[in-house]
Structure 1
Amino acid sequence: MLAFAGELASLVGPIFLRHRIPRPPFRPQRSRLRPPLLVTMLLVRRRSSLTILITAFSSLLYQNFSLHDQVNELQEHIYELENLLQVHNVSRIINDGSDSVHHVPSKGLKRLALFVSVTLLSIPLLVLKYVDYVSRSRSRSSENSSEEVSLNKQLAYRVDAFLSVNPYAKSLGLLVATLLLICLGGLALFGVKDDSLAECLWLSWTYVADSGNHTNSEKFGERLVSVSISFGGMLVFAMMLGLVSDAISEKFDSLRKGRSEVVEQNHTLILGWSDKLGSLLNQLAIANESLGGGMVVVMAERDKEEMELDIAKMEFDFKGTSVICRSGSPLILVDLKKVSVSKARAIVILAEDGNADQSDARALRTVLSLTGVKEGLRGHIVVELSDLDNEVLVKLVGGDLVETVVAHDVIGRLMIQCARQPGLAQIWEDILGFENCEFYIKRWQQLDGMHFENVLISFPDAIPCGVKVASLDGKIILNPDDSYVLQEGDEVLVIAEDDDTYAPAAVPMVKEASFIHTSRPARKPQKILLCGWRRDIDDMIVVLDAFLAQGSELWMFNEVAEKEREKKLIDGGLDIERLENITLVNREGNAVIRRHLESLPLESFDSILILADESVEDSAIQADSRSLATLLLIRDIQAKRLPMVTHVQNGSFSPGSWIGEMQQASDKSVIISEILDPRTKNLLAMSKISDYVLSNELVSMALAMVAEDRQINDVLEELFAEEGNELQIRQADLYLFEGEELSFYEIIIRARQRREIVIGYRLADAERAIINPPSKSIRRRWSVKDVFVVIAEKE
């Protein structure tokens, strides 16, 4: 190499000396006419120098490849000599006797491998170029035909469709690209290195896996190939990182949006979203507290994060119950299977806020979807309906799997019962909710053969109120005869704090004494006012006609025109001519305008029912604000018209205050307000100017109770119906004398003379009733001002 450099210097030196030109004399008069000769000579000198450098670099490359060929020839001669020695059984040790000389492929084979790798690498580029050329040619030849799609667009579409349809297309493409890179890189390395093909393939993988491995390459060809493979390896690993990142992001996105499958069983499934969900979750959490908590799955057509945020804002104790949210439609079987619908022990379908017919139609379609689950359903379906007329159709579709709760009908009947018996709303709230005492049904084998009158006093921590008769296909009989004897398979319906807090004990010794009770006075005609309009008001009129005495009046005050009002009642199925006990009186006006209310004889009504008006029913806060304003206006007008009373009611308000005057007016009439938002409850409870009905919360309680035990729905339906048994409030003078000392068991025995079951009481100086009182055998002194809560037949 040093000799070659010397020869190069000997060639370059004379050339530079030969081109040395003397400086021309200064000629200022001709400098602007032509360029100076010096510039021309410099350009010639630069071009000559560039030519010399190119020639030198080419000579270097030639010498490099020439030496490489000589080395290959020598290696081939060595290989041939080794073969001759092996033929004559002669072994030769080289490299200090440690490693034997490996097989060195021929020069032609290496050049073929290099040519194949370059050719295979060029084929995709040539194909893409050809496709582009064909597409352009076709586009120019068919300019008038706009329907024909170019070849490159078709190819791009096929690739895009393959990647979109096949879930493993990206991973498969990455694998193929990696294998091609390793194979082509191994062939290229085989063409420039002296190693075997297997060793070159392994070396190619190391370049792909770690781009820093190519730094050990020494020759120019090896470095060029290794850098190319390393660059391809960086692209492969970038693609792999992208796929892994996309897979992780997709998984987290699936978890965030609630698209993953719920692997649970014996859980409660809630389909839909409404304002009742918070109260429903609270009741289910309380019901599962004795079990250490349960599992509730909520699926609605909302974003999972929004649902979880709304549930977190409810801020109540779940008591160990877990709530899982999933986004999906209950009308799609795939989404239903995603929440393990076939393994749920109960499925609750919530009614949507808004139009009643659309909500019930959607509930019907959801029931159809549930009945179409191939695996079948383990639990029952609880459907919240908005219109009573749709109940028959839903039960026809769902069959024995379905239990219905008609929200509007339940609230309407509760309002009527509470209007007839003030204080009943609080009792219903205690019985329907799981915070206090509720209904349970269980079989007790030790009670077989016992009369029901003895069963009544056999539970220290519960109150029996009915029997599920096995011989009548499991029919539940409320308030049966004392002479009924429990048979094998019969179950006892009780009111208890929880299903594991009560058990039968030995029948206590209770003194039986007959009591000559005063008969209840006959029902008198009443005057009822309905403020507002709701879609099932025709059903409320029918129930009022069944409950009220003959000669009663029902005043209807709302903004619906009288002619349109009568048409709506008839369309709802009400036959006004068939009303037996009540007479309808129509008045038109706005219930939040004082001037309109003053036109009514508000002081003469026995009961006033303020309904959540249909026009603002969709907004709970707006409906409650309207009801509260109507309540305050009515009480204020009554207080101004009624004579002042000198006594002061129990409470913190003075008789001279406006609330004190309204409290005195509340002694003259009962006002029942339909409340949708639970927060409004505190306002009415503090002022004590109205007995309230908490609409949404009571419906949620009923849904939770039926979801926990579907048998309870039969009990609730009878208690809400016009016929059969119902909850009633009785005066204490029907069972005892003033100051008489009796135990609760003795009062139960005396109430049986009237065919009634006493389940609780409220003392004269107490604000709330006590259901299923403890220490039933202990005597206490009673007052005739006390009242008892009983289950009795409707009068």
Structure 2
Amino acid sequence: MAQRHTTSLTLRLRYRFDNLMAGGTTALIGWFALACLAVVVPASTVLVWADRAAPATLSGRLAAVWVSVGQTLKIGGAVGSPLYVLASVALALVALLFVSTLVGLITTGINRRIALLRRGHSTVLESGHTVLLGWSDQIFPVVGELVAANANQRRSAIAVLAPKDKVEMEEEIAASVAGTAAGTGTGTTRIICRNGRTTDPAELARVSPRTAKAVLVLPPEGDTGDAQVVKTLLALDAAVPEPGGAVVVAAVRDTRSHLTAQLAAGPGAHVLCVDDVIARLLVQTAREPGLSLVYQELLDFAGDEFYTAAVQGLAGRTFGEALLAFTTSSVVGLLRADGGVALNPDPGTAIGAGDRIILISEDDDTAVPADASSSVEEEAIVTARPRTPEAERLLLLGWNRRAPLVVEQLDRFVGPGSTLDVVSLADDVRARAAAGASGARSRLEVAFRSGDITDPGLLAKLDVPAYDGVIVIGETGHEPLPHAAAPAPARAIDLGLAPETGTQTDDRTLVTLLHLRAIGEAAGRELSLTTEMSDDGNRLLAPAREGADFIVSGRLISLLMTQISENPCLAAVFEELFDAEGNELHLKPVADYVRTDREVTFATLVESARRRRECAVGYRLRAEACTGPAYGVRLNPDKGQRVRFGEHDWLIVLAES
């Protein structure tokens, strides 16, 4: 015998209600009509019988109940012959059906439109806006820097197109911008997100690239990111076939993809190679500690950065005279009338009427000419003998796709007789072949050693304090650390370092830095460390002294792309700055330029550097090297400012190698 369920009355009623809802539209309408009649008819009867003015006869009261029911249910409630009543009810039902259908159609249309807008399929009708194509963690510093760059504008817009939910993109960007140090939100800049494939020309049109002032193509995450950038550039060319006024800036990771991306982008676009730029900066910073802080200050819009200014009365004068023609800006070069860029030209170079001055200033409206030559103190200038390049002993811990480029760049920078020891888990033969692929080395001797850079025993045997500089890069091609097996955060930057993610690569770097710190403390000295990291959040966890040199690849490329999008002529400036040939930024002993037994004006340093065919743009104080947020770096100081320097302070100059 079957047993009956011993459930509560509430559950049984809910079960019957669920069965009723599953009965379909017809059953729902029927039951809904019966439910309405079950409520309306008794209530109308009560109202009629309770009314003192109600008819005295039963038929009259029933007619009154019918009228009340009809008016409540909007079916007329007409009184008359049965045919008349039936026709009036039929007309009322038709009207009710028409109105309800119309309301339903309008509601459906509005809901569909809202859903379409939420999906981000509508077209952005903006002009002079900035378009970001693609989605990766690089989008957050790009948006933050664009917001900072547009802070002095009344109205600006950023349009983002990516194959991602529109609402999710808006929420992530809002959270990222709100979490910045400034914490001021987007200010006058509107962030507009649209969903779509960046490789489809029809979907690209949703962000109106034709009317934009700049288009930035961000490298997506994953090993196929470079191919995605190339396809996006081809789609952009199809969407905007005729050359427009928009500045196109893209980035690829692998050097082998650089030429392909440049061909796809066209002659007027700017394509950055992540591997090349990071390798150059790693080498420059390893040889001159503190240089990464200078670039960080120059590339973000929070402090001083590169601008161009009209000659304003300097036409016909020499470049050397222009160096002291701006009290609150640091002159570094000339933008020629034909578009060519000359960084740190000969001081006797004449300035043409159509030229523009390249300088470092707080903003584009602060580059105001004001002569500072009267602040030069001739008696404080010293003449130092040229320093001959010395042989260096360097250590490279780790190996990845950029490592051969690091070796190549080191060979171009270091003095003859320098040595580089490479320690990595990478196969020794493979590492040698990769390092030798860049060509014969003339100055640098490289030795390879296989080992785990996270092993404290191995690091202890290397005698790390004896090296002039140590470079730690993300190591790839092995199993991740046990504690790094957990899934990576949603916003971990992937730089194509397969098979690990950027965060897993950073985990090994953090462990290595922890052991290096212990080695430095045991030796009683600070190690000259330059570290490559993928995620800026991991940099904050690094066990290193304040003000240490960290090259955060994703953030650096984001800053470069933003700077070029705002001022395209800076592409040539940065290309020369990161190249071993030509002019680069250097940190040189301030004692080689001025006397350190007195206070001197910065104008005196500028004049002393000019006589050595260099452009002085700032200084770094050793006493403040571990004190944030500037860590002793002061770019573009007022030339009338007086400072007392020590023997171990540095002058930041733009000069040839």
Q: Structure 1-normalised TM-score?
A: 0.66
How far the C-alpha of 1:493 sits from its partner, in A, is 0.2
What pairs up with 1:431-510 in 2 under 5 angstroms?
Answer: 431-470=298-337, 473-506=338-371, 508-510=373-375
Residue equivalent to 2:601: 743
Change (3 A) 1:439 1:689: closer
- Secondary structure of 1:480's counterpart equals coil
**Is contact 2:382-2:595 (8 Å) kept?**
no
Aligned to 1:604: 466
Q: Which residue of 2 aligns with 1:424?
A: 291
Residue 640 of structure 2 is matched in structure 1 by: 777
Question: Map of 1:550-589 to 2, 5 A cutoff?
Answer: 550-569=416-435, 573-575=437-439, 578-589=440-451
SS at 2:167's partner residue? helix
Pair 1:527-2:409 in alignment: no
Question: Following TM superposition, by how much is the alpha carbon of 1:759 offset from its aligned partner in structure 2, in angstroms?
Answer: 0.3
Task: Give the whole-Å Cα distance in 2 for the aligned partners of 1:451 and 1:558.
Answer: 51
| Per-residue Cα deviation, 1:536-556 (whole angstroms, up to 9, x for no partner) | 322221111101122222222
1:65 corresponds in structure 2 to none
Deviation string 1:304-346 (CA, Å, 9 cap, x unpaired) is 1211221232123323322111111111122111111111100
Question: Could you give the per-residue CA deviations for residues 679-717 of structure 1, whole angstroms, max 9, x where no partner exists?
Answer: 333344873494322322222111110111111111001
Distance 1:292 1:437, change over 3 A: same
CA distance in 2, matches of 1:213, 1:684: 76
SS in 2 for 1:401: coil
Aligned to 2:210: 342
Deviations 1:573-616 (A, max 9, x none): 423xx111112211112221223333433233221111122357
Q: Is the 8 A contact 2:420 2:447 kept in 1?
A: yes
2:505 aligned partner: 623
Amino acid at match of 1:476: V
Please state how far the C-alpha of 1:639 moved relative to its aligned partner.
4.1
Closer, same or farther in 2 for the Cα pair 1:238/1:380, shift >3 Å?
Answer: same
How far, CA to CA, are the matches of 2:72 and 2:276 in structure 1?
A: 74
Deviations 1:288-313 (A, max 9, x none): 11224521111111111211221232
Aligned partners of 1:628, 1:481: CA distance in 2, in Å? Answer: 45
Task: Decide whether aligned partners of structure 1 residues 275 and 607 sit closer, same or farther in structure 2, where only a CA change above 3 A counts.
Answer: same
| Count of aligned residue pairs for this structure pair | 554
Tell me if structure 2 keeps the 8 A contact 1:512–1:749.
Answer: no
Q: Is the 8 A contact 2:202 2:239 kept in 1?
A: no
CA distance in 2, matches of 1:285, 1:303: 22
Mark the CA change 1:579 to 1:508 in structure 2 (over 3 Å): closer, same or farther.
closer
Question: Tell me, which stretches of 5 or more residues in structure 2 are unaligned?
Answer: 1-70, 481-496, 626-630
Cα distance between partner residues in 1 of 2:654 and 2:551: 20
What is aligned with 2:518? 636
Q: Could you say which residue in structure 1 is the equivalent of 2:557?
A: 699
3-state SS of the aligned residue for 1:754?
coil
Please point out which of 245, 250, 268 is paired with 2:112. 250
- What is the CA–CA distance in structure 2 between the aligned matches of 1:383 and 1:703, rounded to whole Å? 7
Map of 1:724 onto structure 2: 582
Preserved contact between residue 272 and residue 351 of structure 1 (Cα < 8 Å): yes
Could you tell me how far apart the structure 2 residues matched to 1:681 and 1:222 are? 85
Tell me the CA shift for residue 774 of structure 1: 4.1
Shift of 1:775: 3.5
Give the counterpart of 2:189 among 316, 321, 326. 321
Q: Which residue of 2 aligns with 1:283?
A: 145
Larger Rg: 1
Q: CA offsets per residue over residues 760-780 of structure 1, 9 Å max, x none?
A: 012242223444444412444
**What is the correspondence of 1:539-558 to structure 2 with a 5 Å cutoff?**
539-558=405-424
Tell me the residue number matched to 1:179.
none
* Matched AA of 1:456: L
Distance 1:601 1:508 in 2: 50
Distance 1:505 1:611, change over 3 A: same
Q: Which residue of 2 aligns with 1:711?
A: 569
1:496-543 deviation line (CA, Å, top 9, x unaligned): 001012211346435574855222432222222222222132222111
What one-letter code is carried by the residue in structure 1 that aligns with 2:252? L
Does the 8 Å contact 1:342/1:375 carry over to 2? no
In structure 2, the residue matched to 1:733 is 591
Contact 1:684 1:690 in 2 (8 A): no
1:257-406 counterparts in 2 under 5 A?
A: 257-292=119-154, 294-314=156-176, 315-316=179-180, 317=184, 318-355=186-223, 358-374=224-240, 376=242, 377-406=244-273
Distance across 1 between alignment mates of 2:416 and 2:641:
43
Q: Report the 3-state secondary structure (helix = DSSP H, G, I; strand = E; otherwise coil) of the residue aligned with 1:324.
A: strand
> Which amino acid in the other structure matches residue 253 of structure 1?
A
Cα contact 1:740–1:783 (8 A) shared by 2: no
Letter in 1 for 2:175: K
1:537 aligns with 2:403: yes
Instruction: Indicate which of 630, 637, 649 corresponds to 1:786.
Output: 649
Give the letter aligned to residue 653 of structure 2.
V
CA contact (8 A) 1:607 1:670 kept: yes
Separation in structure 1 between the aligned mates of residue 634 and residue 515 of structure 2, nearest angstrom: 34
- The reply to whether residue 675 of structure 1 matches residue 533 of structure 2 is yes
Q: What displacement does 1:401 show? A: 2.8
- What amino acid is aligned across from residue 488 of structure 1 in structure 2? A
The 1:411/1:374 distance shift into structure 2, 3 A limit, reads closer
Q: Which amino acid aligns with 2:217?
A: I
d(CA) in 2 for partners of 1:638, 1:509: 47
CA 1:474/1:505 → structure 2, altered by over 3 Å: closer, same or farther?
same
Q: Where does residue 203 of structure 1 map in the other structure? A: none
Matched-pair contact (CA < 8 Å) for 1:276–1:696: yes
Residues 271 and 253 of structure 1: CA distance in aligned 2, closer, same or farther (over 3 Å):
same
* Residue identity opposite 1:371 in structure 2: D
Per the TM alignment, residue 217 of structure 1 is displaced from its structure 2 partner at its CA by 5.8
User: Do 1:445 and 1:488's aligned partners in 2 also have CA atoms closer than 8 Å?
Assistant: no
Aligned AA for 1:328? G
Query: 1:466 Cα shift?
Result: 0.2
Q: 1:654 corresponds to which residue?
A: none
Residues in 1 aligned to 2:226 and 2:641: alpha-carbon distance in whole angstroms: 51
CA distance in 2, matches of 1:739, 1:342: 60
SS in 1 for 2:394: strand
- Deviation, 1:370, is 0.9
Which secondary structure state, in structure 1, belongs to the residue aligned with residue 449 of structure 2?
A: strand
| More contact order relative to length (CA 8 Å, sep ≥ 6) | 2
CA distance in 2, matches of 1:729, 1:235: 82
Q: CA deviation at 1:394?
A: 2.0
Structure 1 residues 305 and 476, CA, compared in 2 at 3 Å: closer, same or farther? same
Do the aligned partners of 2:399 and 2:476 also contact (CA within 8 Å) in 1? yes
Partner Cα distance (2:543, 2:567) in 1: 31
**Given the alignment of the two structures, is residue 614 of structure 1 paired with residue 476 of structure 2, yes or no?**
yes
RMSD: 2.3
Counterpart-to-counterpart distance in 2, 1:390 and 1:297: 26
Structure 2: how far apart are the matches of 1:458 and 1:396? 41
Distance 1:637 1:346 in 2: 48
Supply the distance in 1 between the matched residues of 2:421 and 2:577 (Cα, whole angstroms): 26
- Aligned sequence identity (%): 28
Query: CA 1:773 to 1:547, structure 2 compared with 1: closer, same or farther past 3 Å?
Result: closer
- Give the 3-state SS of the residue equivalent to 1:729 in structure 2: strand
SS in 2 for 1:614: coil
Retained in 2: the 8 A contact 1:611–1:673? yes
